[in-house]
C-alpha cells in the first residue's frame, strides 16, 4: 500500500490516507506539497543550504527509471483505446519501472471521463482524454511521479486538470508542474526523499524560461530532499528536431526554451537528475558535473493520437544508478518501439539505444560518458 501525506503550505494542515496498490515494499510514504505560496521567493545561494540529508543513513546507490510522454488512449474526438482497458500497454516495460527505486514519466494529456476541449480545431490542435480507469495501469507499472507541465494538461480546461490530479491522488502517484497549483512533490522510497519539480513552456505551466522562478523552487526544495529531480517539457517538435541545438528553440510561435542553459542552470542550483520530453523524438543524454540529463525521452506510451512513424515511435526507458549524493554511476538505455494500439514493445535490434548514442556523440562536446550499442552508459574513466 502507498500512504500519502499531503502537506498544505498555505494552511499548514496535514492529512494521511491510504490509496492504490504498489509492487514496492509496503509502508513506504509519498509526501507531496500542496498549493505553494506564490510569494515565497528565496534567492539565497543553494550552497548555503542544507542538502536535505539529516542523520538518516542513505543507501549507497539508488536506481531511477525515466520515460517520456504517456497517453494511454483517448476518447476525444473519437474513441481510440487499446484493448483490455490498456492493461497490456506496459507489459514489455514494467519490469524495469517496477524494480527501480523511483519511476517517473510525463502525463501527456488528461485523466478525465468527460468535459469539453478548450482548443480550437486545426491541423496542429490535439486534445487527449484518457479514461480515469486507465490510471491503475500506471500504478501497476510502478510509477511514482507524473509531470503535468506540458501543453496537453489543460486540454479540457481546469476540469481536466482537477480530474487528473484527483485520479493520480487516488492511485498514490505524485505530480507537479501546473502554475498556481503544485510546484513540487516529495516522494519517499526506502528511506530516501526524492524531491521532484516539473517545468513547461506554455502559459499555464511553471515555465522553464523563467529562471528566477526555477531557482526559487529549487532553493525551496533542495533542503527538503535527499535527491532532487527536475522534469521539463521543452524543445521544438518533429523528426527533424532530434538534434539538440545551441540557444533558444521556437516552435509554432512559442519560445520552447534554451535547454542546455536551463538544465545546466538547474544542476548549478542543486538538481541531481533531469529528464525531458516534448519534441516527440528522442534526443541526446549528458552527464554535467556528474549529474545526469536526458534531453528528450520521446513518445513512450502513446498508442493512438500521435504519429509513431520512424523515430517518432522510439520509446526508451532510461535506467540510471546514482550514489547517495546524486552523482551518476552508470545507466542503460532500454530500447522499445511503439506499436499502434499496443504501446512500447521490445526493440531487439537496440535501434533506440543506437540513435541516442549517435545523438549524444554528435551533440555533446567533450562528453564524460560513453554509450555502447546495447545502451550501456558508463563514465569514461570506468574500466
Contact between 42 and 27 under an 8 Å Cβ cutoff? The reply is: no
Do residues 265 and 214 make contact, with C-beta atoms less than 8 angstroms apart?
yes
Helix axes 259-268, 211-221, angle to 10 degrees: 30
The values of phi and psi at residue 101, to 5°, are -65, -30
Q: What's residue 250's pLDDT? A: 97
Measured CA distances, 79 to 56, 96, 283, 297, 343 (Å): 49, 30, 31, 26, 16
Cis check for the bond before 77: say yes or no (omega within 30 of 0).
Answer: yes
Q: Which three cell numbers stand for residue 96?
A: 524495469
Strands 285-288 and 2-8: unpaired
Copy the grid coordinates of residue 103. 519511476
pLDDT reported for residue 128: 93
CA nearest to 276, candidates 203, 218, 198: 198
Alpha helices in the chain (DSSP H): 94-99, 135-140, 157-171, 211-221, 259-268, 351-363
CA atoms of 199 and 127, how far apart (whole Å): 20
* Architecture of domain 2-379 in this structure: 4-Layer Sandwich (3.60)
Which helix (H) or strand (E) segment holds residue 5: the answer is strand 2-8
Total H helices, total E strands in the chain: 6, 24
Cell of 353: 539505444
Backbone angles phi and psi of 260, in degrees to 5: -65, -45
C-alpha cell recorded at residue 365 = 562536446
| DSSP assignment string, 310-341 | GGGGB--EEEEEEETTS-EEEEEEE-EEEETT
Query: What is residue 40's predicted lDDT score, i.e. its pLDDT?
Result: 38
DSSP codes joined into one string, 67-112 = EEEE---B-SSS-B--SGGGTTTTTTTHHHHHHSSEEEEEE-SEE-
Distance CA 120, CA 124 (A): 10
Rounded to 5°, the CA angle 259-263-267 comes to 170
19-174-58 Cα angle (round to 5): 100
* Kind and range of the H or E run holding 328: strand 328-334
- Report angle CA 213, 219, 221 to the nearest 5 degrees: 105
All three cell numbers of 35: 498549493
| Ordered per-residue pLDDT tens for the chain, 383 residues | 333 333 333 223 232 333 333 434 433 335 544 333 333 334 444 333 444 446 689 999 999 999 999 999 999 999 999 999 999 999 999 999 999 999 999 999 999 999 989 876 766 678 999 999 999 999 999 999 999 999 999 999 999 999 999 999 999 999 999 999 999 999 999 999 999 999 999 999 999 999 999 999 999 999 999 999 999 999 999 999 999 999 999 999 999 999 999 999 999 999 999 999 999 999 999 999 999 999 999 999 999 999 999 999 999 999 999 999 999 999 999 999 999 999 999 999 999 999 999 999 999 999 999 999 999 999 998 75
Please state, in angstroms and rounded to a whole number, the distance separating the CA atoms of residues 14 and 202.
31
User: Are residues 234 and 61 in contact, defined by beta-carbon separation less than 8 angstroms?
Assistant: no
Residue 308 makes CB contacts below 8 A (sequence gap 6+) with: 299, 302, 338, 339, 340
Amino acid at each position: 500500500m502507498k500512504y500519502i501525506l499531503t502537506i498544505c503550505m498555505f494552511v499548514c494542515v496535514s492529512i494521511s490516507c491510504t490509496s492504490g496498490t504498489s509492487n514496492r515494499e509496503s509502508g513506504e510514504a509519498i509526501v507531496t506539497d500542496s498549493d505553494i505560496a506564490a510569494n515565497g521567493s528565496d534567492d539565497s545561494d543553494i550552497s548555503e543550504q542544507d542538502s536535505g540529508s539529516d542523520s538518516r543513513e542513505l543507501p549507497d546507490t539508488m536506481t531511477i527509471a525515466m520515460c517520456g510522454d504517456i497517453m494511454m488512449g483517448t476518447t476525444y474526438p473519437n474513441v481510440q483505446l487499446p484493448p483490455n482497458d490498456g492493461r497490456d500497454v506496459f507489459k514489455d516495460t514494467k519490469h524495469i519501472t517496477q524494480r527501480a527505486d523511483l519511476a517517473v514519466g510525463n502525463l501527456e494529456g488528461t485523466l478525465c471521463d468527460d468535459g469539453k476541449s478548450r482548443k480550437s480545431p486545426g491541423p496542429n490542435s490535439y486534445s487527449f482524454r484518457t479514461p480515469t480507469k486507465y490510471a491503475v495501469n500506471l500504478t501497476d507499472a510502478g510509477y511514482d511521479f507524473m509531470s503535468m507541465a506540458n501543453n496537453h494538461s489543460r486540454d479540457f480546461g481546469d476540469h481536466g486538470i482537477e480530474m487528473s490530479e484527483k485520479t493520480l491522488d487516488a492511485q498514490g502517484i505524485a505530480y507537479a508542474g501546473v502554475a498556481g497549483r503544485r510546484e513540487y512533490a516529495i516522494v519517499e522510497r526506502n528511506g530516501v526523499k526524492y524531491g521532484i519539480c516539473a517545468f513547461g513552456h506554455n502559459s499555464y505551466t511553471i515555465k522553464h524560461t523563467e529562471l528566477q522562478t526555477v531557482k526559487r523552487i529549487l532553493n525551496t526544495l533542495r533542503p527538503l530532499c535527499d535527491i532532487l529531480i527536475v522534469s521539463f517539457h521543452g524543445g521544438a517538435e518533429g523528426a527533424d528536431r532530434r538534434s539538440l541545438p545551441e540557444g533558444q528553440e521556437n516552435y509554432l510561435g512559442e519560445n520552447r526554451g534554451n535547454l542546455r542553459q536551463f538544465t545546466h542552470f538547474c544542476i548549478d542550483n542543486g538538481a541531481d537528475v533531469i529528464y525531458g520530453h516534448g519534441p516527440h523524438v528522442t534526443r541526446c543524454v549528458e552527464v554535467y558535473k556528474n549529474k545526469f540529463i536526458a534531453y528528450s525521452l520521446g513518445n513512450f506510451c502513446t498508442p493512438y493520437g500521435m504519429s509513431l512513424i520512424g523515430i517518432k515511435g522510439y520509446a526508451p526507458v532510461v535506467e540510471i544508478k546514482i550514489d547517495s549524493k546524486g552523482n551518476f554511476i552508470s545507466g542503460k538505455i532500454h530500447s522499445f518501439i511503439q506499436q499502434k494500439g499496443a504501446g512500447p514493445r521490445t526493440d531487439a535490434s537496440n535501434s533506440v539505444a543506437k540513435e541516442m548514442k549517435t545523438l549524444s556523440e554528435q551533440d555533446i562536446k567533450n562528453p564524460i560518458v560513453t554509450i555502447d550499442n546495447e545502451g550501456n552508459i558508463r563514465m569514461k574513466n570506468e574500466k
